[in-house]
Amino acid sequence: MIQTSKETDERRDAQKRAAQPGDVSGIPAECWCLHGAVGAVADWRDLAGRLATRGIATRAVDLWRFLECESVLMPEFGKRLNADAEGEVARGKKRILVGYSMGGRLALHALLEGGPWEAAVIISANPGLRDAAEASARRGADTVWATQALTMPWPDFLTKWNAQTILGGAIRDHREDRKLMQRRREIARSFVDWSLGNQEPLWEKLSAIQIPTLWIAGENDPKFRAITEEAAGLSEKFTLEIAPDSGHRVPWENEAWLAEKIAAFIS
């Protein structure tokens, strides 16, 4: 759908209002959003605008800053993110943790560490590999990705990354992709520290999450749809939604639907 300049300006103004600190009596929630692998905070920009029209504030988290100086394994990341959230002034009545793909896995670790979250949205995320051989293969593949992130010409690396069948091609603005080149060291490190192959399987721990959690997958992403359906069935606190006409990248393939579901879930 093509947006008019007036619609764009209205969405931008709403987003700015929702982001203002101070009186939060009229803001139902603030969503802390964790991007995916080879992602950026700007990936959430349009969704944030849609949520802002519903009075919901957003705070996109730059995951790469956690890897600037040292390796940070996923459980430690969860503790550090929670500490950051607890140290910030809330811009809404509730704090909602939203994570996509790799960001969803990181969000699960934060939820299992506690934190100030009152609800969560997990999108296209895998709680862990239960097969040792599969985990070993994933570690090997991610080691290759880490090397390529450091050594390949950056446009070639991004083209190869986005060409993966599960991702369905490039979506993000190419200007943002160029900016990511400045983070290639941290991105390479994430393929090791935050590799799904190095992640402890969290399946048996998920029921310890005692806040309402919305699990989302795309209907055209059969692998993650099956994973998400299984995870969502592990607790009465969990809710399942399947995004129509969407693959793995639900936040960009069906942005309007996702904004509507998040707003309804929060209310």
Domain assignment of residue 141, yes or no: no
Supply the pLDDT for residue 22.
Answer: 41
Residue 241 lies in a domain: yes
pLDDT at 26: 61
Report the CATH number that the domain containing residue 61 is assigned in CATH: 3.40.50.1820
Is 88 domain-assigned? yes
Q: Work out how many domains the chain is built from and give that number.
A: 1
Query: Which residues are 121's β-sheet partners?
Result: 98, 214
Q: DSSP readout, the chain?
A: -PPPHHHHHHHHHHHHHHH--S--TT--EEEEEE--TT--GGGGHHHHHHHHTTT-EEEEE-GGGGGSSS---HHHHHHHHHHHHHHSPPSSSEEEEEEETHHHHHHHHHHHT--S-SEEEEES-------HHHHHHHHHHHHHHHHHHHHS-HHHHHHHHHTSTTTTS--S-HHHHHHHGGGHHHHHHHHHHT-TTTSPP-GGGGGG--S-EEEEEETT-HHHHHHHHHHHTT-TTEEEEEETT--S-HHHHSHHHHHHHHHHHH-
Q: Could you tell me if residue 135 is inside a domain?
A: no
**160-198 b/e with 16+ CB inside 10 Å = b?**
ebbeeeebbeeebeeeebeebeebbebbbbbbbbbbbbb
Is residue 179 one of the residues assigned to a domain?
A: no
Domain that includes residue 206, residue range: 29-130+201-266
Q: What local confidence, expressed as pLDDT, does residue 1 receive? A: 36
**Residue 266: what pLDDT?**
92
- Phi and psi dihedrals of 191, rounded to 5? -65, -15
Is 98 inside any structural domain? yes
Question: What is the structure's pLDDT at 221?
Answer: 96
Mean pLDDT for back-to-back runs of 10 residues, the chain (267 residues) = 46 45 62 96 94 94 96 96 89 90 98 96 98 98 98 94 86 78 96 97 97 97 98 97 96 95 94
- Is residue 139 in some structural domain? no
DSSP-assigned states of every residue in 55-99: T-EEEEE-GGGGGSSS---HHHHHHHHHHHHHHSPPSSSEEEEEE
The pLDDT assigned to 91 comes to: 72
Angle between helices 5-19 and 45-52 (to 10 degrees): 80
